[in-house]
């Protein structure tokens, strides 16, 4: 680590002049410091990887460059002259191009039309689009990146790597100014492994054209394979910039995770040998889009955590278990099989599921809080098939009080509540029916600190009352706090397992990255 | 902040109570008042009342039946043609066979159920957008209307028993009005006071979330399309009994008034939610306005103008008011 800058300089493509220079940039969101005095630079014709854990500041930095956030301090220069990303169109004009994780493609349009989004079309008299000319251009732009596609096919029908290629080709399109710097934000997150190699070829092709590339990724092997230099961020600060050749996997993990975060196992109460629990949830050979033959068990009264990078299968596990996503393999709750594609039978078998996306998959926006709480089971309020509103009201009021939902008003439109309170409403929905197994996907995403503590308390209580709980989360601290056991997902399978006192943030993070 | 949200909600509810939820009833009263002063000699008569109640019973049934699929978040555009078809078919059966009219009625409702099932098969099994599937069904039914009628108006003499089915007067009001009232009562009750109703609204509000809460959304969509088509089929039989002949063009034009009433109704009683009583109120609000205008001797085009402007205004105001709240904030 002696003078990484100097070493770094030695490996860059010769003659690569400085394209982007970020000096002393800081950004705080309220009391949270997202970036602290960060320096960062990219040269022409290099691939510069930006790595760090969730919350390390990578995406904040990218968003500052894209003009989404205003830096509190610091300066940015592009090719030697000052650059103000907040000025509309400035980033484009100066040659900065972004490919975000979601790619921003329109599935129902064809390749040509997607490439023209933003740029528009060349027109002939009288404002007629020359499709022949457009197709030719599209084909040429893609051929430059090594793609040979039927440009008339709908983007929705293409493979993941082809879609990424189209997004990149669109970003590189030379309207208004030539592309000088390409920012790729997690481009492989949703890419099957076989297609990653193809993307790498594309990125190398771009580098050969003298464009600078910022490559944001969680996957350290990719970074080592592809990047010329690597900048590591931790807790909003720059750990250092290194030549990729000087790093290896273990060294990177150490730098990313840091030694400071080593903590004692926290209040993990009992080391809880798995044999103590009677199995509530038994999953065998579960496969899906990313998942490959996952088998696991959750005992009654046990809280099992699932950690893993985006794309490891972590985010697919909950929906697949519940039967919301396509899957093969078997799932059973206390011996009752849960068939694929039938969430109603999953509920009947005693499975509850709090999805990660509470707005689109959890809550019904047009319904009030009360109706959202009781949606999973209305039987207790039926007498002779007729819904007894009074009983429902008093029951819901009790639940809102118990989970401290504010305001404690069950006739409020659900979307008027804050994120934390919305999440509590969703949690109340499932806790109320006393599920045998509760699966939670990112239970405290976008939730304030107070609500987070309450939700954690409820998870622990539910387990104490005999439910088996599975918590899928990217928040390692959360897993440390609530779990008896943590499974680490890697490449669609369970790569490692941590038990009781062995569970620590540092261990989880290390195992996720390996 | 939490407390203030609560108090503003309370204040708002106290302040706007009634004016918001029952604005339709006030406007209806206002319309009656205006025409009572303008053309008292023709407007304030029992004939007007009876004509209104009778004429609107058929449209009203179609509209209230439509509430069910709309609550489940799907469109049924075939209802006008279902009504048109059963109207023609009922009359044809009467003229060409001597099957008992009770049996005919059952047959027609069965046809409605079959149409609903076919719609649902396209929407749920194949995955065709309900708008397109039911539009296709409309066209198919139009073909059947022309086939059965041979593109000629069918006229015949119904039995008195059957005519009474559409023309009887009970408590000073025509019998079909009571069918409408009964239907509204049933649909309101089911949507408001049963588990199925709650699930139907959840399906319409967010099908993905409803499904993940264990609701069998496909089943609700299927049943809702069957209900709307069966109700429309029954309305066709009632219309046949009322008219005593089968006009080829009487059915399909009921479609737009039905949608107008259902959407206008969603601003009433249960704000922001398609509901049965709101729809009923809307049907009569619009009909009263139109009737008054007719009696005042305005030009024919004023009717359509009135319907369109009322719908646009009512829904426009409701949406505009809601924009002040955060999205989705509709306290009923």
Domain annotation for chain A: domains and CATH numbers? 4-95+177-257 (3.40.50.300), 105-176 (no CATH), 274-367+434-513 (3.40.50.300)
Give CA–CA dist B276/B282, Å, rounded: 10
* The pLDDT of residue B322: 63
CA–CA gap between residue A290 and residue A160 (Å, rounded): 13
Task: Give first-to-last CA distance, chain A, whole Å.
Answer: 21
The residue of chain A with its CA nearest to that of B4 is: A407
How large a percentage of chain A has pLDDT more than 70?
A: 92
The conformation of residue A361, written as its DSSP 8-state character, comes to I
Q: If you ran DSSP here, which 8-state letter would residue B326 be given? A: P
Contact A363 B206 (CB under 8 A): yes
Where does the pLDDT of residue A165 fall: very low under 50, low under 70, confident under 90, or very high at 90 and above? confident
Which helix H or strand E contains A232, and what residues bound it?
A: strand A229-234
Per DSSP bridges, beta strands B169-170 and A303-308 are unpaired
Residue B330, domain member (yes or no): no
The per-type count for chain A, helices as H runs and strands as E runs, is: 17, 24
3-class DSSP assignment, residue A192: coil
Residue reference for tokens 């709980």: A469
User: So what's the pLDDT on residue B65?
Assistant: 96
Mean pLDDT calculated for residue range A236-245: 91
pLDDT of residue A176: 66
Cα–Cα dist B329/B321, whole Å: 11
Distances (CA, A) of B37 to B33, B46, B132: 6, 16, 46
Higher pLDDT, B291 or A467: A467
What total of structural domains would you count in chain B? 1
B124 is a domain residue:
yes
Nearest residue to A77 (alpha-carbon basis) of A18, A33, A144: A18
Of A510 and B151, the structure prediction assigns the larger pLDDT to: A510
Between A264 and A494, the more confident residue is A494
Band (pLDDT 50/70/90 cuts) for residue A274 is: very low
Q: Kindly state whether residue B233 falls inside one of the protein's structural domains.
A: yes
> Cβ of B213 and A376 within 8 Å?
yes
Residue at B7 is within a domain: no
Alpha-carbon span B45 to B295, nearest angstrom:
11
Per-residue model confidence (pLDDT) at position B19: 54
- Which candidate, A133, A209, A131, places its Cα nearest to that of A168? A209
A135-140 long-range Cβ contacts below 8 angstroms, 24+ apart = A138/A111, A138/A112
Chain A interface, mutation test: which of B209, B218, B270, B275, most A Cβ atoms within 10 Å?
Answer: B209
Contact call for A364 and B206, based on CB within 8 A: yes
> Count of CB atoms within 10 A of residue A54's CB?
14
Q: C-alpha angle with apex B7: B2 to B9, nearest 5 degrees?
A: 95
Enter the DSSP assignment of B125.
Answer: I
Domain assignment of residue B8, yes or no: no
What is the helix (H) or strand (E) element at residue A52, kind and residue range?
A: none
Q: Which of B189, B328, B332 to mutate to test the interface with A (most CBs of A within 10 A)?
A: B328
| Separation of alpha carbons A305 and A423, rounded Å | 19
Average pLDDT over residues A278-299: 90
Beta strand spans in A312-400 (E) = 328-333, 336-337, 351-354, 382-383, 386-387
Q: How many residues are recorded in chain B?
A: 332
Query: Which pLDDT score is estimated for B14?
Result: 43
- Rounded-to-integer distance, Cα B261 and Cα B67, Å: 10
Q: Which residues in chain B are closer than 8 Å to A389, comparing Cβ atoms?
A: 193
Q: Concatenated DSSP letters for A430-476?
A: HHHT--SEEEEESTTTT--HHHHHHHHHHHHHHHHTT-EEEEE-S-H
Q: B118-127 long-range CB contacts below 8 Å, 24 or more apart? A: B119/B76, B119/B78, B119/B225, B119/B229, B120/B221, B120/B222, B120/B225, B120/B226, B123/B74, B123/B221, B123/B222, B123/B225, B124/B218, B124/B221, B124/B222
Would B189 be classed as within a structural domain? Answer: yes
| Mean pLDDT, residues A194-212 | 87
Half-sphere exposure of A306 (CA within 13 A, CB side): 28
* Residues in Cβ contact with A10 at an 8 Å cutoff, skipping those fewer than 6 apart: A243
Q: Confidence band (pLDDT; 50, 70, 90) for A477?
A: confident
- For residue A242, the cross-strand partners are A230
The pLDDT, as a whole number, for residue A13 is 42
Instruction: Give A353-364 pLDDT, tens digit per residue.
Output: 999 888 889 999
How confident is the model over A425-434, as a mean pLDDT?
Answer: 92
How close is the nearest chain B Cα to the Cα of A43, in Å?
Answer: 45
B329 min Cα distance to partner chain A (Å): 4
Residue A69 pLDDT class (50, 70, 90 cuts): confident
CB contact under 8 A, A360 and B327: no
Best of B72, B190, B212 to disrupt the A interface (most A CBs within 10 Å) is B212
Tens-binned pLDDT, residue by residue, of chain B (332 aa): 344 444 444 444 444 445 566 777 777 888 888 888 887 777 777 777 787 888 889 999 999 999 999 999 999 999 999 999 999 999 888 888 888 888 999 999 999 999 999 999 999 999 899 999 999 999 999 999 888 888 777 777 777 777 777 777 778 788 889 999 999 999 999 999 999 999 999 999 999 999 999 999 999 999 999 999 999 999 999 998 888 777 778 888 888 889 989 988 888 777 678 899 999 989 988 888 888 888 877 777 887 888 888 888 877 877 776 654 433 333 32
Residue A374 has pLDDT above 60, yes or no: yes
* Structural domain of B88: 21-323
Q: Cα separations (Å) of B53 from B23, B61, B172, B277, B288?
A: 21, 12, 10, 15, 10
Least confident of A136-145, A183-192, A457-466, A495-504: A183-192
pLDDT score for A398: 92
Q: How far is it, in rounded angstroms, from Cα B106 to Cα B233? A: 10
- CATH number, position B105: 1.10.3470
Round to whole Å and give the CA distance between A48 and A9.
12
CA distance B229 to chain A (A): 25
Q: What is the pLDDT of residues A248-266, one digit of tens each?
A: 888 888 888 876 444 433 4
Token pair of A389 as six digits: 């509103």
Determine the pLDDT at residue B20: 62
Residues A471-494: what's their mean pLDDT? 91
> Is B5 part of any domain?
no
The answer to whether residue A27 scores a pLDDT higher than 70 is yes
With CA atoms as reference, the chain B residue closest to A389 would be B193
Q: For B72, phi and psi rounded to 5 degrees?
A: -85, 5
> Which pair of structure tokens corresponds to residue B214?
């264990």
Task: Give the mean pLDDT of A476-481.
Answer: 90
A-chain residue closest to B203, CA distance: A364
Beta pairing class for A18-29 and A32-43:
antiparallel
Q: Across the interface, do A387 and B194 touch by the CB < 8 Å criterion?
A: yes
Residue B248: inside a domain, yes or no?
yes
ipTM (interface predicted TM): 0.80
Locate A300 and state its tokens.
Answer: 């009654």
* Residue A308 backbone dihedrals phi, psi, to 5 degrees: 160, 155
Q: Are A442 and A387 in contact (CB under 8 A)?
A: no
Chain B contact residues (CB < 8 Å to A): 2-3, 5-6, 9, 192-195, 197-198, 201-202, 204-206, 208-216, 272-273, 325-332
């Amino acid at each position: 680590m002696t003078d990484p800058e100097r070493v770094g300089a030695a490996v860059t493509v010769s003659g690569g002049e400085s394209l982007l220079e970020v000096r002393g940039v800081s950004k705080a969101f309220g009391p949270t410091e997202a970036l602290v005095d960060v320096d960062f630079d990219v040269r022409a014709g290099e691939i510069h990887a930006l790595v760090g854990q969730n919350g390390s500041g990578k995406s904040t930095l990218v968003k500052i460059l894209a003009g989404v956030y205003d830096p509190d301090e610091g300066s940015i220069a592009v090719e030697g002259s000052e650059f103000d990303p907040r000025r509309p169109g400035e980033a484009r004009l100066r040659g900065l191009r972004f490919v975000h994780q979601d790619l921003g493609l329109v599935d129902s349009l064809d390749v040509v039309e997607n490439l023209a989004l933003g740029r528009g079309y060349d027109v002939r008299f009288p404002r007629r689009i020359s499709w022949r000319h457009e197709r030719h251009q599209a084909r040429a732009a893609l051929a430059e990146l090594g793609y040979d596609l039927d440009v008339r096919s709908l983007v929705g029908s293409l493979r993941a790597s082809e879609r990424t290629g189209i997004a990149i080709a669109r970003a590189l399109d030379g309207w208004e100014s030539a592309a000088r710097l390409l920012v790729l934000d997690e481009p492989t997150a949703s890419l099957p492994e076989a297609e990653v190699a193809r993307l790498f070829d594309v990125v190398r092709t771009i580098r050969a054209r003298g464009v600078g590339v910022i490559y944001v990724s969680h996957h350290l092997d990719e970074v080592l394979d592809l990047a010329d230099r690597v900048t590591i961020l931790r807790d909003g600060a720059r750990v250092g910039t290194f030549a990729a050749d000087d790093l290896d996997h273990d060294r990177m993990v150490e730098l990313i995770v840091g030694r400071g975060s080593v903590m004692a196992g926290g209040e993990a109460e009992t080391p809880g040998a798995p044999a103590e629990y009677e199995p509530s949830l038994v999953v065998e050979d579960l496969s899906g889009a990313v998942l490959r033959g996952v088998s696991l068990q959750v005992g009654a009264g046990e809280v099992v955590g699932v950690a893993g990078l985006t794309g490891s299968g972590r985010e697919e596990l909950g929906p697949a278990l519940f039967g919301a996503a396509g899957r093969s393999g078997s799932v059973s709750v206390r011996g009752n099989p849960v068939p694929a594609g039938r969430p109603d039978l999953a509920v009947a078998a005693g499975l509850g599921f709090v999805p990660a996306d509470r707005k689109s998959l959890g809550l019904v926006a047009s319904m009030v809080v009360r109706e959202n709480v009781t949606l999973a089971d209305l039987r207790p309020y039926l007498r002779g098939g007729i819904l007894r509103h009074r009983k429902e009201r008093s029951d819901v009021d009790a639940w809102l009080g118990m989970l401290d939902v504010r305001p404690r008003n069950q006739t409020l439109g659900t979307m008027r509540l804050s994120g934390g309170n919305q999440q509590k409403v969703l949690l109340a929905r499932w806790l109320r029916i006393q599920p045998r197994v509760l699966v939670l996907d990112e239970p405290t995403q976008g939730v304030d600190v107070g609500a987070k503590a309450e939700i954690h308390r409820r998870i622990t209580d539910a387990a104490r009352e005999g439910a088996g709980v599975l918590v899928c989360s990217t928040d390692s601290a959360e897993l440390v706090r609530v779990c008896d056991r943590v499974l680490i997902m890697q490449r669609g399978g369970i790569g490692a397992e941590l038990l009781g006192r062995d569970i620590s943030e540092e261990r989880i993070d290390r195992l996720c990255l390996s | 902040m939490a407390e203030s949200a609560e108090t503003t909600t309370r204040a708002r509810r106290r302040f706007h109570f009634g004016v918001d939820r029952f604005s339709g009833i006030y406007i209806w009263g206002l319309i009656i008042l205006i025409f009572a002063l303008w053309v008292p000699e023709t407007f304030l008569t029992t004939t007007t009342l009876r004509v209104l109640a009778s004429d609107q019973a058929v449209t009203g049934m179609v509209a209230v039946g439509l509430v069910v699929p709309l609550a489940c978040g799907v469109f049924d555009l075939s209802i006008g043609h279902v009504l048109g078809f059963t109207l023609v078919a009922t009359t044809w059966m009467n003229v060409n066979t001597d099957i008992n009219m009770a049996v005919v009625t059952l047959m027609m409702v069965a046809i409605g159920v079959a149409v609903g099932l076919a719609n649902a098969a396209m929407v749920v099994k194949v995955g065709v957008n309900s708008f397109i599937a039911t539009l296709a069904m409309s066209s198919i039914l139009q073909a059947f209307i022309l086939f059965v009628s041979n593109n000629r108006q069918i006229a015949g003499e119904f039995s008195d028993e059957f005519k009474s089915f559409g023309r009887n007067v009970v408590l000073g009001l025509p019998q079909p009005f009571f069918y409408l009232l009964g239907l509204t009562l049933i649909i309101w009750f089911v949507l408001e006071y049963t588990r199925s109703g709650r699930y139907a609204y959840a399906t319409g509000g967010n099908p993905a979330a409803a499904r993940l809460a264990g609701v069998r959304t496909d089943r609700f969509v299927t049943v809702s399309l069957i209900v709307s088509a069966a109700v429309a089929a029954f309305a066709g039989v009632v219309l046949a009994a009322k008219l005593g002949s089968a006009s080829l063009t009487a059915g399909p034009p009921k479609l737009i008034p039905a949608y107008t009433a259902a959407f206008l109704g969603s601003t009433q009683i249960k704000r922001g939610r398609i509901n049965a009583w709101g729809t009923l109120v809307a049907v009569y609000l619009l009909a009263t306005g139109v009737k008054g205008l007719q009696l005042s001797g305005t030009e024919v085009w004023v009717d359509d103008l009135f319907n369109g402007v009322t719908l646009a205004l009512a829904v426009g105001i409701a949406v505009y008011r809601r924009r002040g709240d955060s999205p989705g904030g509709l306290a009923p």
